[in-house]
Chain A
Amino acid sequence: MQIKTVAELAAEGKSPEVLFWVGCAGSFDDKAKKVSKALASLLTQAGIEWAILGQEESCSGDPARRAGNEFLFQMMALQNIQVLNGYNIRTIVTACPHCFNTLKNEYPALGGHYEVFHHSQFLQKLLDEGRIRIREEVFKGKKVTFHDPCYLGRANGEYLAPRAVIRKVFQNIEEMERHGQRALCCGAGGAQMFKEAEKGLKEVNIERTEEALRVHPDILAVGCPFCKTMLSDGVKHFEKEEHIRVADLAEILAEAAAPIPESESKN
């Protein structure tokens, strides 16, 4: 699979149909890098002409903003907007709900106007258009539950797209007690990911993992790199990593998708 940067395309006089905004976690975090790979292969499989910014991408500014550093957020945002507008980017897909929220809702006030998709939404579209084929037997008989990311769900009102994607692969979703609008946070948002939790009785990810364990899933599906980290840690805490797999929607879909012909899968 060949991954191109927008700059490389520009050198060929082309511009991508879709920009894959990888995000910091997707670029540097081991668990999230797998999600980036999975999404990359799905986009290619669906025949999308896509590219990444590569070294020209920078932090969206979300963690700085939620932590109260509005200066830094605005600096990052203006810098990114300059790059995006310079390449005349119109459509963005990202596997990070925090980047999604920031690019979609907070960049317009600073001059960045794009059509932004969370990967669940984009994948749902591709599935609906029949551009990704599914082998239904891959996850047959497996039980799945879905943890709503706060920045996709409550923050942006999107509860259906991730479920629609999961339903293409699994017969049904075993919901946790708190799901949808009432879903409990994994504990990482608001820049908590980058600090120790305040003093308390329990970690939020433990509370959430306990709830997930109560439905006895084989797969705990997530749609956010931070949720993936927090819940993987939680599952490890309960020594359940042998039985429960924490996986992103893109990983699940990539595994269930019909294999890409040999010729394309090189590189």
Chain B
Amino acid sequence: MYPATMKYLPNILFLMCFLAGSGYFAWQMRRIIRNIRMGRPLNLNNRLPERLKIMALVALGQSKMVRRPLAGVMHVIIYLGFIIINIEVLEIVLDGLLGSHRLFAPYLGRLYDVLIGSFEILAAGVIVACLVFLIRRYGGQVQRLKPTGDLKGWPSRDAVIILATEIILMTLFLTMNAADGVLQTRGVDHYIRAGAFPVSAGLQPLFAGWSEAGLVFLERFCWWGHILGILAFLNYLPHSKHFHIILAFPNTFYSKLEPKGQLPLDENVLKEVRMMLDPQAQPDSASSDTMPSFGAKDVTDLTWKQLLDAYSCTECGRCTSECPANLTGKLLSPRKIMMSVRDRMEELGRLREKHGPHYTDNKKLLGDYITPEELWACTTCNACAEACPVNIDPVSVIVDLRRSLVMESSAAPAALNAMFSNVENNGAPWQFSPADRANWIYES
């Protein structure tokens, strides 16, 4: 009895870690989905083939990443590394559960060697790309990545944690293979001959003098470190900009399909306008007990898609680096707009977890997180939306907040109020008489 338990102890331990890691992740995802659901409903389950195509191109194919070639190519390497090395993780998980070693090797034969060999090359590529990214971030050549402004403090630390973790995970993977390779050549029991080690072969000489026990320990240490690291990283995602590796897919799937210039109709406003134009119309009684609100003051006034946008933001700053307002020194940064939406959503989500689903504090997205000065700097030029590699639409958030400023708080800049009254009274944004509208015909 006793020895049998001992024999299965690692399997049991692994099973527990695996269940804990994936269970905690599932629990976190519930929290994320609940937060996104704080947004207003919006039906986007239409035009599915078109949506699948956009997702395939933009998320899977990274079509918007490669518009900047260096960052694009490096990113593709890390991303392929992530996706493809997951096949290896599947084997690692099964090995952990079954107590086997390189479970797939006997079934795949030569193909197994090819796979392991290419994983190694990718892993080395990932390390190089992550180093390049660290240098770009801290070398100061790339304005949008500097640890100042929007990225001051946590967002920059987050980026470094991600890059460092990826380097560590890949190093563990390669070291594990190196130890395994030495054990294989020594013909140690359990370490079947399998795999090709084009990269880690270079590390093998380091361990040539090690004892068998030492090597087995190193191999096991790296194996556990790698898989526990992955489980921990998985649970780090929901707290990080790195969440985009998952959310880029739903977010591009639910991309805006209308032309970028088209703003959505505010239905609450339409009801009011219809009533104003038709005095006979009765306010529909179902909705009249709650005062309709116009535009967005807080995250709960945004749609779930705008909230999903915020969780998907990679904080890459491509939007801000193309923004005419930001480029000319105005306070507005579309990246910061999306980061503010996320911060506020997380805050309100936490509060509602504690105090119930309808709780509101006295803070608001508008005012406490995003100021009117930022909003009034926007030219609605859509450069941000065009640049975003995961099809985020910061303009819609900006306009929704402006709607609240104008229609709820009458807080437009004086010049815009003058423009409004001209449009209303003269049918033009300037003070000209509508009777003169066609005078240009006779002028030379």
Partner-B contacts on A (CB < 8 A): 3, 5, 22, 24, 26-29, 33, 36-37, 40, 52, 54-55, 57-59, 61, 63-72, 74-76, 78, 101, 105-106, 109-110, 150-151, 154-157, 181-182, 184-185, 187-204, 206-208
Residues in A neighbouring B440, C-beta threshold 8 A: 22, 26-28, 33, 36-37
* Pair B377/A27 contact, Cβ less than 8 Å: no
Q: Does B376 contact A (CB under 8 A)?
A: yes
Query: A70-B403, A198-B330, A198-B377 in contact; A78/B273 too (CB < 8 A)?
Result: yes
Contact with A along B397-411 (1 / 0, CB 8 A): 001011111110000
The answer to whether A76 and B379 touch across the interface, beta carbons within 8 angstroms, is no
Closest residue of chain B to A106 (Cβ to Cβ) is: B262
Consensus secondary structure, chain B interface:
helix
Residue B420 lies at the interface, judged by CB distance under 8 Å to chain A: yes
Distance (whole angstroms) from the CB of A65 to the closest CB of chain B: 6
CB-contact partner of A181 in B386, B419, B420, B430, under 8 A = B386
- A155 x B261 contact (CB < 8 A): yes
Residues of B within 8 A of A109 (CB): 265
Q: Which of A105, A109, A198, A199 gathers the greatest number of chain B CB atoms within 10 Å?
A: A198
**For the complex of A and B, 7 pairs with smallest distance between CB atoms:** A155-B261, A201-B329, A68-B402, A190-B380, A58-B427, A185-B381, A200-B329
Among A63, A155, A200, the residue within 8 A (CB) of B429 is A63
**For residues 378 through 400 of chain B, which have their beta carbon under 8 Å from a beta carbon of chain A?**
378-383, 385-387, 399
- Tell whether B113 is near chain A: CB-to-CB under 8 Å: no
Interface pair A68/B407, CB less than 8 Å apart: yes
> For A59, A63, A189, which residue has the most chain B Cβ atoms within 10 angstroms?
A59
* Nearest-CB residue, chain B, relative to A55: B437
A-B contact pairs, 8 of them (CB 8 A): A67-B402, A70-B295, A181-B386, A182-B386, A194-B418, A195-B416, A198-B376, A200-B330
Is B377 within 8 A of A71, CB to CB? no
With both beta carbons as reference points, the residue of chain A lying nearest to B269 in the complex is identified as: A70
- Choose one: A3, A66, A155, A182; the contact of B259 (CB below 8 Å): A155
- Give the contacting residue for B381; candidates A154, A191, A196; CB below 8 A: A154
Residues of A within 8 A of B436 (CB): 28
- Complex CA gap A24/B434 in Å reads 10
Given A74-B273, A204-B328, answer yes or no on A189-B380 (Cβ-Cβ < 8 Å): yes
Chain A residues with CB below 8 A from B415, complex form: 194-196
Bound-state Cα–Cα, A185 to B45, Å: 33
The smallest beta-carbon distance between B148 and chain A, in angstroms, is 16
